Amino acid sequence: MAMNPESGLPDEQREKVSRRTFIKGASAVAAVGVVQIPGAAAGIDKAGVEPDILGPGPVSIRLRVNRSDLDVEAPPSTTLLDLLRDHHGLTGTKRVCDRGSCGACTVLIDGRVVDSCSMLAIDAIGSEITTIEGIGTPENLSDLQQAFIETDALQCGFCTPGMVVSCTALLEQNPSPDRDQIRQGIAGNICRCGTYQNVIEAVEYASRKGGK
Ligand code: FES
Ligand code: FES
């Protein structure tokens, strides 16, 4: 049987101990909803300074959303999706799977496509967040939103805000994407109604018009 020279335990037993210890520690943090600030995962940083612990009670969170500063008091365990929907009333961003697999909750963080259900709101502090409400309004639709209507690129519409956000980011980076590039651009967005073909046509329509 292989023995570990540091612990003096058989390798197999040492593995079990480390896993149990890790799970115990992780569960304690999850159970009370506290968050260690970034860089503090090891408990004490290299200079021997104890990390700040945020929570579990509410803390002040200022986010830059759609070119405005929004302030709220919320637990640091609040996801960006919950903060946008429940605290700021930005319900265009949808919650479907709530686990980072469907793309319904897509927003832009400094121009990058992000699933807001899988990010803590406090991790978005200092970034420019754009939601579907920041892309266009019913009175002033973006070219791409207009294209979704023209090409009939939605059925139930539940995936549509996330699709529009992803396609907006795509056209920002590549104003003339080909069909494969459009498919890649929406690869993280699931449409249960199957509107993919019309979404591709909407992007091409907006692209031909030189818009986004
Ligand atoms: S709700 Fe966020 S990815 Fe599905
Ligand atoms: S239009 Fe219904 S899920 Fe996409």
Q: 134, 165, 180: which is the final residue of a domain?
A: 134
Average per-residue pLDDT for the chain: 85
Sheet containing 112-115: which strands, arranged edge to edge?
Answer: 68-74, 59-65, 128-130, 106-109, 112-115
Give, as one character, the DSSP assignment of residue 86.
I
Greater model confidence, 30 or 142: 142
What number of CA atoms fall less than 13 Å from residue 202's CA on the CB side?
Answer: 29
pLDDT of residue 156: 97
In angstroms, what is the span from residue 186 Cα to ligand 1's centroid? 14
Judge if the beta carbon of residue 104 lies within 6 A of ligand 1.
Answer: yes
What 3-state DSSP class applies to 14? helix
The residue written with tokens 């197999």 in the block is 12
pLDDT of residue 39: 47
Q: Judge if 142 and 122 occupy the same domain.
A: no
Q: Judge if 81 and 129 occupy the same domain.
A: yes
Give the residue, out of 84, 101, 109, with the most ligand 1 atoms within 8 A of its beta carbon, to mutate for a pocket test: 101
Q: Is the pLDDT of residue 41 over 70?
A: no
Whole-number Å distance between alpha carbons of 43 and 50: 7
Does residue 60 form part of some domain? Answer: yes
In angstroms, what is the span from residue 102 Cα to ligand 1's centroid? 5
Q: 109, 134, 159: which is the final residue of a domain?
A: 134
pLDDT tens digits, 157-195:
999 999 999 999 999 999 999 999 999 999 999 999 999
Q: Is the pLDDT of residue 38 over 90?
A: no
Q: 85, 100, 134: which is the final residue of a domain?
A: 134
Does residue 17 form part of some domain? Answer: no
Does residue 40 form part of some domain? Answer: no
Which residue range is the domain that position 154 belongs to? 136-208
Judge if the beta carbon of residue 143 lies within 6 A of ligand 1.
Answer: no
Name residues contacting ligand 2 (CB within 6 A).
154-160, 191-193, 195
- Closest by CA to 84, choosing from 65, 98, 108, is 65
**Cα radius of gyration (the chain):** 22
Structure tokens at 131: 């939601």
Whole-number Å distance between alpha carbons of 59 and 39: 19
Q: Judge if 64 and 125 occupy the same domain.
A: yes
In the chain, what are the helix, strand and coil shares in percent, each to the nearest 5? 40, 15, 45
Which ligand is located closest to the Cα atom of residue 155? 2
Closest residue to atom 3 of ligand 1, CA basis = 100
In angstroms, what is the span from residue 197 Cα to ligand 2's centroid? 12
Q: pTM for the complete prediction?
A: 0.79
In angstroms, what is the span from residue 120 Cα to ligand 2's centroid? 26
Q: Judge if 162 and 175 occupy the same domain.
A: yes
Range with the lowest mean pLDDT among 7-21, 25-39, 110-124, 169-183?
A: 7-21
Range with the lowest mean pLDDT among 10-14, 109-113, 115-119, 132-136?
A: 10-14
Tell me the pLDDT band of 210, cut-offs 50, 70 and 90: confident
Interval 67-83 mean pLDDT:
97
- CB distance 76 to 59 below 8 Å: yes
Q: Is the pLDDT of residue 22 over 60?
A: no
- Count of structural domains within the chain: 2
pLDDT tens digits, 117-148:
999 999 999 999 999 999 999 999 999 999 99
- Residue 65, φ and ψ in degrees, nearest 5: -120, 125
Q: Judge if 100 and 145 occupy the same domain.
A: no
CATH number (domain holding residue 143): 1.10.150.120
Compute how many other C-beta atoms are within 10 angstroms of the C-beta atom of residue 60: 9
Question: Which contiguous run of DSSP H or E holds residue 61?
Answer: strand 59-65
Greater model confidence, 2 or 191: 191
